[in-house]
């Protein structure tokens, strides 16, 4: 195979693994949008907050330590023990469920039957609140997150793809982060679990029912409030997964909340209401931006990754506004 093709394939593989990370974030958006028609702007910050909380628990950090120290003149920072990951993750899930409950109690409950734009604004407020809360609780410095996922290139994958080069001296096999392989497996498990849950359980059925028609759902005895807590909890767990993957890759830092912006074109491509769409959209954007960069960089220069996704989304809006897997909107006159 020629060198160009090989490197293009490598770029594509790289794109797939970045794409799956986008998908993980987009998944959280889809869940909440499907169930309540709310575009949850806070999804990215939820991923950040979940990752921060996980690191905090792991390190045995005292939450609000800065605040406590400033008010009481003390100097507490750590409980003096480290929480094992296997306990820290369920503890973080519990925090995210608590957060979901709080969101329903404090925000959603009072905004029933409001316009979508008002709910959207509420989630923007929520995003800033949560970002601030994360800062006060755990501090603003970049943290290392290690949940035992392997780092670095995958040697096995590299060695076993070297023959594709056909003796080419510049080709040492395809490079892929082992972490990304895990991300793919985790995303697959997550999607399968979500699909099984929504198709085959009573709560899953209730979830789909609420997504379809609030009034009808009420009439068969489904509590909307319970369903909202449930969806936000699941979205919180998905956010934790996304937070773990991104955090393991590039450290837990506040710029993590910006990945939400990358999820937007993913959703436009995949459709706002489709779980498989979120996955396909993420992969397409990931591969698309890497390949575009690979081929176009010599011509138009670098940094195309910053805008390519949005261009692609714009093109989709023009020709297929409902996205690849979204529900087609047909208005009968």
Q: Where do contacts with another protein occur on this chain (CB under 8 A)?
A: 197, 200-203, 205-206, 208-209, 211-213, 215-224, 327
- List the beta bridge partners of residue 143: 252
User: Is-contact 326 311, C-beta < 8 A?
Assistant: no
Report d(CA 152, CA 176) in Å as an integer. Answer: 8
In the complex, what is the shortest distance from the CB of residue 201 to another protein, in angstroms, rounded to a whole number? 4
Exposed e or buried b for every residue in 153-183, given b needs 16+ CB within 10 A?
ebeebeeebeeebeeeeebebbebbbbbbbb
In the complex, what is the shortest distance from the CB of residue 217 to another protein, in angstroms, rounded to a whole number? 8
CB nearer to another protein: give 179 or 229: 229
In the complex, what is the shortest distance from the CB of residue 208 to another protein, in angstroms, rounded to a whole number? 6
In the complex, what is the shortest distance from the CB of residue 95 to another protein, in angstroms, rounded to a whole number? 19
Exposed e or buried b for every residue in 240-251, given b needs 16+ CB within 10 A?
bbbbbbbbbbeb
CB nearer to another protein: give 221 or 298: 221
- List the beta bridge partners of residue 61: 78
CB nearer to another protein: give 173 or 277: 277
CB nearer to another protein: give 208 or 249: 208
Report d(CA 4, CA 92) in Å as an integer. Answer: 45
DSSP string, 48-60: HHHHHHHHHHHHT
In the complex, what is the shortest distance from the CB of residue 322 to another protein, in angstroms, rounded to a whole number? 14
Q: Give me 36's structure tokens.
A: 């309540």
In the complex, what is the shortest distance from the CB of residue 224 to another protein, in angstroms, rounded to a whole number? 7
In the complex, what is the shortest distance from the CB of residue 240 to another protein, in angstroms, rounded to a whole number? 17
CB nearer to another protein: give 169 or 332: 332
CB nearer to another protein: give 48 or 206: 206
User: Is-contact 293 302, C-beta < 8 A?
Assistant: yes
CB nearer to another protein: give 184 or 209: 209
**Helix or strand holding residue 16 (H, E):** helix 3-36
- List the beta bridge partners of residue 177: 153
CB count within 10 Å of CB 71 equals 9
Report d(CA 35, CA 159) in Å as an integer. Answer: 45
Report d(CA 182, CA 152) in Å as an integer. Answer: 12
In the complex, what is the shortest distance from the CB of residue 206 to another protein, in angstroms, rounded to a whole number? 6
CB nearer to another protein: give 257 or 322: 322
Please count the CA atoms within 13 angstroms of the CA of 183 that sit on its side-chain side: 30
């Amino acid at each position: 195979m020629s060198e160009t093709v090989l490197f293009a394939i490598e770029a594509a593989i790289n794109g797939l693994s970045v794409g799956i990370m986008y998908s993980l974030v987009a998944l959280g958006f889809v869940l909440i949008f499907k169930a309540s028609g709310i575009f949850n702007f806070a999804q990215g910050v939820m991923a950040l907050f979940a990752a921060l909380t996980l690191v905090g628990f792991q390190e045995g950090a005292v939450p609000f330590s800065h605040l406590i120290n400033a008010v009481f003149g003390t100097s507490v920072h750590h409980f003096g023990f480290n929480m094992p990951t296997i306990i820290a993750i369920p503890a973080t899930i519990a925090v995210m469920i608590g957060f979901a409950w709080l969101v329903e109690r404090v925000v959603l409950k009072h905004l029933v039957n409001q316009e979508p734009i008002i709910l959207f604004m509420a989630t923007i407020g929520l995003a800033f609140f949560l970002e601030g809360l994360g800062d006060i609780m755990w501090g603003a410095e970049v943290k290392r997150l290690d949940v035992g996922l392997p780092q670095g290139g995958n040697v096995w994958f590299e060695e076993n793809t070297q023959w594709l080069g056909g003796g080419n001296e510049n080709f040492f096999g395809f490079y892929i982060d082992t972490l990304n392989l895990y991300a793919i497996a985790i995303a697959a498990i997550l999607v399968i679990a979500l699909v099984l849950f929504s198709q085959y359980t009573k709560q899953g059925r209730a979830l789909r029912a609420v997504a379809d028609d609030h009034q009808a759902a009420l009439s068969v005895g489904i509590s909307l409030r319970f369903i909202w807590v449930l969806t936000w909890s699941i979205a919180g767990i998905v956010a934790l997964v996304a937070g773990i993957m991104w955090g393991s890759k590039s450290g837990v830092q506040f710029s993590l909340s910006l990945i939400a912006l990358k999820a937007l074109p993913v959703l436009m491509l995949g459709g706002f209401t489709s779980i498989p769409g979120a996955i396909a959209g993420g992969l397409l954007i990931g591969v698309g931006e890497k390949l575009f960069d690979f081929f176009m960089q010599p011509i138009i220069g670098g940094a195309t990754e910053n805008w390519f996704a949005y261009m692609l989304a714009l093109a989709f809006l023009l020709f297929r506004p409902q996205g690849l897997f979204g529900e087609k909107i047909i208005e009968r006159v």
